[in-house]
Amino acid sequence: MEYSEKVMEHFVNPHNVGKLEDADGIGEVGNAKCGDIMKMYLKIENDIITDVKFNTYGCASAIATSSIATDMIKGQPLSEALKLTNKAVVEALDGLPAVKIHCSVLAEQAIKAAVKDYYDKNGIEYNKADFEFEDHHH
Ligand code: FES
């Protein structure tokens, strides 16, 4: 299995790892294929993601995709973060081995789950169809 240089960079030195104690939205999702878990913390001000951190028990691909995905949404409005697809993340990493594509879905779903958590906590209306994925929130 071959990883791109970008994947290795983000795996060896992942960005935005950890936890935000004062997060406005927290998303936790699990990967049905491997059982790995991803937790995403968002700090949100005026609909802008001002800070983001993640924690995962996932594999190298899950770590690399989350690292680059969190870089991509930091400083962005929520509407942009919700548009982030695992495909865009995989492209930003110069690709992933086919058997590892399922790992990249975790980051996208955890971001969505965290935004949904923020909306729910603040009574903000949203389109349920934008959040169609299995929710493993505990
Ligand atoms: Fe579980 Fe990659 S094998 S996230």
What would the pLDDT profile of 44-103 be if each residue is shown by its tens digit?
Answer: 999 999 999 999 988 999 999 999 999 999 999 999 999 999 999 999 999 999 999 989
Partners of 37 in the beta sheet?
Answer: 30
pLDDT at residue 129 in the model = 82
Q: How confident is the model at residue 133 (pLDDT cuts 50, 70, 90)?
A: low
User: From CA 56, how far away is CA 63, in angstroms rounded?
Assistant: 7
Q: Which of 102, 105, 136 to mutate to test the pocket of ligand 1 (most atoms within 8 A of CB)?
A: 102
- The answer, yes or no, to whether any atom of ligand 1 lies below 6 A from the CB of 101, is no
- The answer, yes or no, to whether any atom of ligand 1 lies below 6 A from the CB of 68, is no
Q: How confident is the model at residue 138 (pLDDT cuts 50, 70, 90)?
A: very low
CATH of region 5-117, choose from 3.10.20.90, 3.40.50.10800, 1.10.10.10, 3.90.1010.10? 3.90.1010.10
- The answer, yes or no, to whether any atom of ligand 1 lies below 6 A from the CB of 58, is yes
Q: Are 136 and 57 in contact (CB under 8 A)?
A: no
Q: Are 43 and 23 in contact (CB under 8 A)?
A: yes
With a CB cutoff of 8 Å and minimum separation 6, the contacts of 36 are 30, 56, 57, 58, 59, 62, 103, 106
pLDDT at residue 100 in the model = 92
User: From CA 55, how far away is CA 49, in angstroms rounded?
Assistant: 17
For 12-33, write each residue's pLDDT tens digit: 999 999 999 999 999 999 988 8
> Of 42 and 138, which is predicted with more confidence?
42
pLDDT at residue 39 in the model = 96
pLDDT at residue 109 in the model = 94
59 is known as an active-site residue: no
Strands 25-30 vs 37-45: parallel, antiparallel or unpaired: antiparallel
Query: In 3-state terms, what secondary structure has residue 98?
Result: helix
- Per-domain boundaries in the chain: 5-117
Residue 106 has pLDDT above 50, yes or no: yes
Atom from ligand 1 closest to the CA of residue 62: 4
pLDDT at residue 137 in the model = 46
pTM of the model: 0.91
User: From CA 95, how far away is CA 37, in angstroms rounded?
Assistant: 22
